[in-house]
Chains A and B, each alone.
Chain A
Amino acid sequence: MSDNRLDRRFAELKSAGRTGLIPFITAGDPSPDGVVALMHALVDSGADVIELGVPFSDPMADGPVIQHASERALARGVGLKQILAWVAQFRARDNDTPIVLMGYLNPVERVGYPEFARRAVEAGVDGVLLVDCPIEESAVLAPLREAGLKQILLAAPTTANDRLARLCEAAAGFLYYVSFAGITGASHLNTQDIAARVADIRARSAAPVAVGFGIRDAQSAVAIAAFADAVVIGSALVDTLAGAQDADEAVRRAGQFLSPIRAALDARH
């Protein structure tokens, strides 16, 4: 069995016949103090994998909810070094839940790829999704892959067939299917189109397929779970957490938001 937590987790999900639940939070929002507690709360409420957003000043692929969360986190001085320290702290109590860092290239490039790879593995990160680094430009990420980090690739409705074949072949950890052409937080899910596309990808890819963008509640999660290995929920969760007055309230809100989705996914069987 692979020593990567992502591979282990997706193997477990498959043998249990469960759909993976992958919540996304922006690291440092709503409060830098409560990040680690919030991560544990997500796991306690049914998260299988955690996507931790690394805030960036110019989040080109994100809608207003995640843009504003990034701005708030940056205003509080959140950076990669601190985020890796939170991951290490999380690992002290949870050595099983995979963690994927999601963000943009420049903050990683600033640290330096080999140095970042070393520190991320040491902290307990399992995968990295860099939104502005398509496979054609991902030679720079070789040190990350060599250190054992999974480079999570994205596929989109606009992805051409020959590229899709290449993505399916290179996919590691899981393949992230973007459910519609747009930015995070918008919502125009067309379940039928997504289902056909995901079926095609699953037939070609050895890696599991997670679907994200536009999933905001139990109902939309269940609709996607009919054909995906995992569902990613980002903006709706970040939006729910945004109004929390303190770290405790964020933890409560995370539980109230995620638990019903977990229950609905499990009730499918």
Chain B
Amino acid sequence: MNSQIDFHAYPDAHGRFGDYGGIYVAETLMAPLAELTAAYERLRKDPAFIAELDRDLKHYVGRPSPIYEAERLTRHVGGARIVLKREDLNHTGAHKINNTVGQALVARHMGKTRIIAETGAGQHGVASATVAARLGLKCVVYMGAVDIERQKINVYRMRLLGADVVPVTSGSKTLKDALNEAMRDWVTNVADTFYIIGTVAGPHPYPQMVRDFNAIVGREAREQMLEGYGRLPDVITACVGGGSNAIGLFHAFLNDKDVRIVGAEAAGHGIETGQHAASLAAGRPGVLHGNRTYVLADENGQITETHSVSAGLDYPGVGPEHAFLKDAGRAEYVGITDDEALEAFHLLARTEGILAALESSHAIAQAIKLARELPKDALVLANLSGRGDKDVHTIAAREGIEL
């Protein structure tokens, strides 16, 4: 690893993280993105905006979220101590709300009256519908028709919150296509519409802005570890689809050279089967959704369909900062299969009384693997990015149980 790099100095003024990131969009979106960048640059340094955001995070989201040492899980595994950052305890049940609260405030300051969002598992859609309801903004959520079918509860939650959920039937009818459709909406309605992207992908300034709003996860966890254990963890881990919860946890630790960083991608049925969503482990650099990053594509450069038991990780790209961290050797990215994630889900449920989201179960599985390799006095910090209530039907169906 290059110890000279200041990992907190990215992105540069062009929105680039080394070779990755940037702005790869149609000409019509260049001006709205410049307008957004200017507004965000101003607001992120504005003490009144920061105070407003902090207030919302404390009183509406319920921050800070605790860290919790999973002692029975640790004993069961028989290795290093496993500590969980409890983002599942946030309002709406996942880290996604950190970002939507922030972007909704930016939208309001910019005078936008309409919010659009894309969603895969529905968590970001719910988090967007939530903040839109609270601020009295109109909200349209684009969601792949396939995902609508497998995440019915979240679809209904969004509708209860007053959002209009629009099924996307183009392409693979999943998250990537929902993102395409949201971009098309934005390009058509730029005057009054604010697009809340849910992950650290998309054109600049989104990868930076979404990271900044989620970075509170790592800032809190870093302080909580120092306070509770008197030292930093030896290794931190999080699941990576687009990568927003992972970058949220990782960012505060990037310049702590002794902290090992491991991202867990969705290996689906196994990377060797081709049915997975491990863009960093099995993809190559390319351009998708407005940024240069690692993508899963065929020999003609067409983006391939992905597979994961978890809809939230089912994405053929990844945030450009993760691509940069991989190439720089600062973070490792490994695959966790569907079966490994499900096993971790059940183990955490039975040893700790916590139902983790299927996405987060990938991080738990990785934490278990790491704990097994490390000495008993080592500390493994994993981001429990969301709760698993939304996945109960999926898990029951896999086990042949009708609810």
With contacts A71-B170, A131-B26, A157-B28 taken as known, whether A106 is within 8 angstroms of B287 at the C-beta atoms is yes
Q: Smallest CB-CB separation from A163: which chain B residue?
A: B30
B188 x A181 contact (CB < 8 A): yes
A107 x B300 contact (CB < 8 A): yes
Interface string of A53-74 (1 = CB under 8 A from B): 0001111111110011001001
State the Cβ distance, A107 to closest chain B Cβ, in Å: 4
Interface string of B8-45 (1 = CB under 8 A from A): 00000010000000111111111110100000000000
Cα–Cα distance between A62 and B27 once the two chains are bound (Å): 13
Does A218 belong to the interface (CB within 8 Å)?
no
State the Cβ distance, B201 to closest chain A Cβ, in Å: 12
Residues of B within 8 Å of A79, CB to CB, are: 299-300, 302
Find the residue from A58, A111, A137, A186 having the highest chain B CB count within 10 A: A58
With contacts A60-B184, A181-B187, A183-B188 taken as known, whether A109 is within 8 angstroms of B25 at the C-beta atoms is no
A134 x B27 contact (CB < 8 A): yes
State the Cβ distance, A239 to closest chain B Cβ, in Å: 16
Does A160 belong to the interface (CB within 8 Å)?
yes
Interface string of B285-323 (1 = CB under 8 A from A): 111111000010101111110000000000000000000
Partner of B286, one of A62, A109, A156, A159: A109
Partner of A57, one of B27, B29, B303: B303
Does B180 belong to the interface (CB within 8 Å)?
yes
A158 x B190 contact (CB < 8 A): yes
A156 x B14 contact (CB < 8 A): no
Does B62 belong to the interface (CB within 8 Å)?
no
B187 x A137 contact (CB < 8 A): no
Residues of B within 8 Å of A67, CB to CB, are: 170-171
B28 x A110 contact (CB < 8 A): no
B176 x A134 contact (CB < 8 A): no
Cα–Cα distance between A183 and B300 once the two chains are bound (Å): 24
Residues of A within 8 Å of B304, CB to CB, are: 57
Interface string of B149-189 (1 = CB under 8 A from A): 00000000000000000000011000011001001100110
Chain A: interface size category? 35 or more
State the Cβ distance, B374 to closest chain A Cβ, in Å: 39
Find the residue from B176, B188, B290, B302 having the highest chain A CB count within 10 A: B302
Does A43 belong to the interface (CB within 8 Å)?
no
With contacts A109-B286, A110-B297, A157-B28 taken as known, whether A56 is within 8 angstroms of B302 at the C-beta atoms is yes
Residues of B within 8 Å of A71, CB to CB, are: 170-171
Interface string of A151-167 (1 = CB under 8 A from B): 00111111110010000
Cα–Cα distance between A134 and B30 once the two chains are bound (Å): 8
Residues of B within 8 Å of A155, CB to CB, are: 27
Partner of B301, one of A60, A108, A182: A108
B26 x A58 contact (CB < 8 A): no
Partner of A159, one of B31, B188, B302: B31
Cα–Cα distance between A212 and B304 once the two chains are bound (Å): 30
State the Cβ distance, A263 to closest chain B Cβ, in Å: 32
Q: Determine the main DSSP class of B at the interface with A.
A: mixed
Q: Smallest CB-CB separation from B34: which chain A residue?
A: A160
With contacts A110-B299, A182-B187, A182-B188 taken as known, whether A59 is within 8 angstroms of B25 at the C-beta atoms is no
Find the residue from B176, B288, B289 having the highest chain A CB count within 10 A: B288
State the Cβ distance, B135 to closest chain A Cβ, in Å: 25
State the Cβ distance, A203 to closest chain B Cβ, in Å: 19
A107 x B290 contact (CB < 8 A): no
Residues of B within 8 Å of A159, CB to CB, are: 27, 30-31
Does A178 belong to the interface (CB within 8 Å)?
yes
A64 x B170 contact (CB < 8 A): yes
Cα–Cα distance between A35 and B123 once the two chains are bound (Å): 44
Interface string of A75-90 (1 = CB under 8 A from B): 0000111000000000
Q: Smallest CB-CB separation from B170: which chain A residue?
A: A67
Does A96 belong to the interface (CB within 8 Å)?
no
State the Cβ distance, B219 to closest chain A Cβ, in Å: 32
Residues of A within 8 Å of B26, CB to CB, are: 60-61, 131-132, 154, 156, 178
B24 x A137 contact (CB < 8 A): yes
With contacts A109-B301, A186-B188 taken as known, whether A132 is within 8 angstroms of B180 at the C-beta atoms is no
State the Cβ distance, B366 to closest chain A Cβ, in Å: 29
Q: Smallest CB-CB separation from A59: which chain B residue?
A: B180
B297 x A106 contact (CB < 8 A): yes
Partner of B295, one of A74, A106, A137: A106
Residues of B within 8 Å of A105, CB to CB, are: 24, 286-287
State the Cβ distance, A60 to closest chain B Cβ, in Å: 5
Q: 29 A-B contacts, Cβ less than 8 Å apart?
A: A58-B176, A58-B288, A59-B180, A60-B180, A61-B26, A61-B184, A64-B170, A67-B170, A71-B170, A106-B286, A106-B301, A106-B303, A109-B285, A109-B287, A109-B301, A110-B300, A131-B26, A133-B24, A133-B287, A134-B23, A134-B25, A134-B30, A136-B23, A137-B22, A154-B26, A156-B31, A158-B31, A160-B30, A183-B188
Residues of A within 8 A of B (CB): 56-64, 67-68, 71, 74, 79-81, 104-111, 131-134, 136-137, 153-160, 163, 178, 181-183, 186
Besides A57-B302, A59-B180, A136-B22, 9 more A-B contacts (Cβ < 8 Å) are A57-B304, A79-B302, A110-B297, A132-B290, A134-B30, A136-B23, A137-B23, A153-B27, A159-B27
